[in-house]
Amino acid sequence: MVTLGKRAILHVDMDAFYAAVEERENPALRGKPVVVGSEPKEGRGRGVVATANYAARRYGIGSAMPISEAWRRCPSAVYIRPRMRLYAEVSRGVRDIFERFTDLIEPISIDEAFLDVTASRRLYGDGPEIAKRIKSAIRSEERLTASIGCAASKFIAKIASDLDKPDGLVVVEEGREAEFLDPLPIGRLWGAGPKALERFRRLRCATIGDAASLERDVLVRTFGESMGDRFHRLSRGLDERPVVPDHVRKSLGKESTFGEDVADRKVVERTLLDLTEKVAASLRRKHMAGVTITLKLRWEGFETVTRRRTLKEPVNTTERIWPVARELLRAADRPRLKVRLVGVTLSGLDRVESGQSDLFREGSNVDGRVAEAVDTLAERFGSGTVTRAALLPDGEKDAPDDDPEPHESGGN
């Protein structure tokens, strides 16, 4: 009899998703290098690779690489324009499979999701057994492969799914997290961008185990309270974050309480802009958009107001949200009072098709494209890589840092 741990979390990641779907649709592609991205025109295409199949990866072709570079490495590969509608449909099919096992599904993107199957184990077997069933259903019903990480936390499950691709299943048993994490390179730690990695290097941390061996104090001194504490916990495999199912999420917002009440409205606006960016990026990551923008403002003495406006259509970009949030702030504000807290929330959320399709579609809105590019850069190099000086009050320059993230509020 297997003893069941506290939680069973799966991270399911489809293998080379777009390319795999294209291969499925066209058996003549099997065995050939396939690159999904905008078509290279005699090697001068300006787009990027969305997905390369494993045959193409052997030429060193990978996601986000300029298509011209992919062309240089393998001109004989089959280049295919993405068919987002098709991939979205397949994604819904995969989701239907998940839903047979749990309703706690948190999609991360069109081809990736966290599943909490803790309560499903009575019916379907333990976490690894459910993972096997999901993999085999995806194989037989969608003729595709997925890699799954199975663990007691999201952090570990996410790392695990990536370690044995394609068609992998990596199980990390509860209590063996340290064994699993310790030898991994420090770059696998969530939230460790280039800046943080440089600081880890100076602390002589090359692996997650090195970080786990440090006192919490050392990490907090180096990275600040919030980040330091996060690294401390994650490096020791401690991650209690729940899987947040998307269908109950009706709003998404962030707020920030100032360390000291603030009189300077430039500081307030800059903070609100920062929060707006984070909310917008988070919505896009979840493939969601909201129709109502709510501003929350609290002054010294704790008096609080909220002001909201509902737009004609759902939005998920800073460019669309920020002007409204700022206007609501300016209209509600009492300039003689100092500000204690500011926040912004989007509600009336709806799912939208992956913004990635905008990268390739003719006449797509530039707004979404810029936002997508910013997201990609932020993911690769840490947030704050791309600044938006133009949006800031009085042309002030942003001074990004890997400061502690304001906590998320109003999640449900």
Chain positions 167 to 186 lying near Mg ion, rule: CB under 5 A, are: none
Tell me if residue 173 is catalytic: no
β-pairing, 304-315 vs 288-299, is antiparallel
Closer by beta carbon to Mg ion, 15 or else 269: 15
| 142 near Mg ion, judged by CB under 5 A | no
The one catalytic residue among 106, 112, 142, 277: 112
Rounded to whole angstroms, the Cα distance separating 125 from 150 reads: 13
- Residue 285's Cβ-count burial label (10 Å; 0-12, 13-18, 19+) is middle
Question: Smallest gap, in angstroms, from Cβ of residue 61 to Mg ion?
Answer: 15
Closer by beta carbon to Mg ion, 376 or else 387: 376
Instruction: Select the span of 5-13, 21-29, 66-74, 372-380 touching Mg ion (CB under 5 A).
Output: 5-13
Chain positions 80 to 119 lying near Mg ion, rule: CB under 5 A, are: 111
Closer by beta carbon to Mg ion, 159 or else 186: 159
- Residue 152's Cβ-count burial label (10 Å; 0-12, 13-18, 19+) is buried
Closer by beta carbon to Mg ion, 165 or else 233: 165
Question: Smallest gap, in angstroms, from Cβ of residue 242 to Mg ion?
Answer: 23
Closer by beta carbon to Mg ion, 13 or else 177: 13
Question: Smallest gap, in angstroms, from Cβ of residue 110 to Mg ion?
Answer: 9
Chain positions 336 to 395 lying near Mg ion, rule: CB under 5 A, are: none
| 13 near Mg ion, judged by CB under 5 A | yes
Instruction: Select the span of 6-14, 220-228, 311-319, 377-385 touching Mg ion (CB under 5 A).
Output: 6-14
Question: Smallest gap, in angstroms, from Cβ of residue 167 to Mg ion?
Answer: 12
Binding-site size for Mg ion (CB under 5 A) equals: 3
Question: Smallest gap, in angstroms, from Cβ of residue 13 to Mg ion?
Answer: 4
For the annotated catalytic residues, the residue numbers are 112
| Interface positions with Mg ion (CB under 5 A) | 13-14, 111
